[in-house]
Amino acid sequence: MLAFQYDPDNAQIREMFANTRAARLRRTKRMVEHIAEDYPITWHSVQVQAHEGMRTTIGRPHIADALVAAGVYRTRSEAFAGVVSTSSKYYIPTPSPTTHDVVAAVKAAGGVTVIAHAGDLSRNRRLLSDGQIESLIAEGLDGLEVWHRGNPPQQRERLLAIASAHDLLVTGGSDWHGKGKPNELGENLTDADTVREIVRRGVLPLFGAYMKMPAGNFANGHPKRT
């Protein structure tokens, strides 16, 4: 779930983040313990892969990078297709709030909610059905991330149809988390009109060029769709 322009000091949001971070850290440590029985990584070798800063919550991307650093895989993508995949024997699900809980919390904090890569079969064991999406719409869902390299053409068509029928925001995203994957920073941009509408709906002030851009223009020329 993507959440935009919410109040980061909202008590409900802060509690949800704290609980989720703690659960993710416990789960990641357990995964590393199991993987270390068969592969040359340690908790320390995973920790040093967190280049984003001290507030980073260690997760599967850092395990993947540690496996690359150890020479087990050539790229993060290969690691995600192997040892750290959701189908791997080492995989442990993270106890997480439900999608319904997240929508409720973000809306209570004045934010905007968008389902991320909702048609990506490569990373979702089971896609949300039209009915499930409509249930979330009734609870306040604002949009769908359609322009994402993981959403195949037929899923993009399905999501666009749902968005059109329910007047949802349609966003895009590169899902770029570093150089370990083929994703390019800046691909699948969200058009400026949609960005402007997200800013208008949210409670968090945002100042910048987006608010002054002529209608119909894009943030960086025409979006590169993949």
pTM of the model: 0.72
Q: Please give the span between the terminal C-alpha atoms of the chain, in angstroms, as a whole number.
A: 21
Pairing status of strand 169-172 against strand 143-147: parallel
Residue 170: beta bridge partners? Answer: 144
Specify the DSSP class assigned to residue 134. H
The residue to which tokens 């349609």 are assigned: 170
Do residues 100 and 116 make contact, with C-beta atoms less than 8 angstroms apart? Answer: no
User: Across the 226 residues of the chain, what is the mean pLDDT of every consecutive 10-residue run?
Assistant: 94 94 94 98 95 78 97 95 95 91 96 87 75 96 88 88 96 73 72 92 70 47 52
pLDDT at 191: 87
Query: What fold does the segment set 9-81 form as a domain?
Result: DNA polymerase; domain 1 (1.10.150)
Domain boundaries, the chain: 9-81, 111-201
Do residues 135 and 166 make contact, with C-beta atoms less than 8 angstroms apart? Answer: no
Residue count of the chain: 226
Q: How many CA atoms lie within 13 A of 127 on its CB side?
A: 17
Tell the burial category of 143 from Cβ atoms under 10 Å away from its Cβ (0-12, 13-18, 19+): buried
- Which residue type occupies 67? L
A 10 A CB-CB count for 87 gives: 8
Same fold, 9-81 and 111-201: no
- Rounded Cα distance between 151 and 148, Å, is 6
pLDDT at 53: 59
For 111-201, CATH number?
Answer: 3.20.20.140
pLDDT at 204: 82
pLDDT at 223: 52
Q: In what order do the strands lie in the sheet with 112-115?
A: 2-4, 112-115, 143-147, 169-172
pLDDT at 216: 46
Specify the DSSP class assigned to residue 93. P
Do residues 117 and 156 make contact, with C-beta atoms less than 8 angstroms apart? Answer: no
pLDDT at 177: 66
